[in-house]
Amino acid sequence: MPFTVTYAERDGGGTCLRLTGELDMSTAEEFNAAVDRLTAAGERRLLVDLTELTFCDSTGIAAFLRGDHRAAAEGGWLRLTGASGAVDRVLRLTGVAQVLAYDARAGDPAPRAAP
């Protein structure tokens, strides 16, 4: 399955990016470019749906953190949702799941853990 990034406006504001395939060294730039385009266009709240992401390596983890820093610099955030299997495991082991978690019940980002 080839890597793709699609996005659409969310009800209540913000943008949902949907990732499919594998996020790694060869595809991270595509994700970074999408985040850059959205933040340059004024979007500050980015929810990344990982339901169809099948693999994520350290380059993908770095891309998520970069995206959050980019959005935060503009007063916004990037949050992850929908991870399962190996992707969920990598996010949990690295601590990224806790830092970039999305609380769907509240409709807002989960509070960040203190460093």
Task: Specify if 26 maps to a domain.
Answer: yes
CATH code assigned at 14: 3.30.750.24
CA-based end-to-end distance of the chain:
37
Residue range of the domain that includes 10? 4-109
Average pLDDT, the chain: 89
Task: Specify if 94 maps to a domain.
Answer: yes
Q: What is the 3-state secondary structure (H, E, C) of 48-108?
A: EEEEEEEEECHHHHHHHHHHHHHHHHCCCEEEEECCCHHHHHHHHHHCHHHHCEEECCCCE
Task: Specify if 23 maps to a domain.
Answer: yes
Task: Specify if 49 maps to a domain.
Answer: yes
What pTM value is reported for the model? Answer: 0.88
Domain count, the chain: 1
Task: Specify if 115 maps to a domain.
Answer: no
pLDDT in tens, 36-67: 999 999 999 999 999 999 999 999 999 999 99
Dihedral sign for Cα 82, 83, 85, 89, please: negative
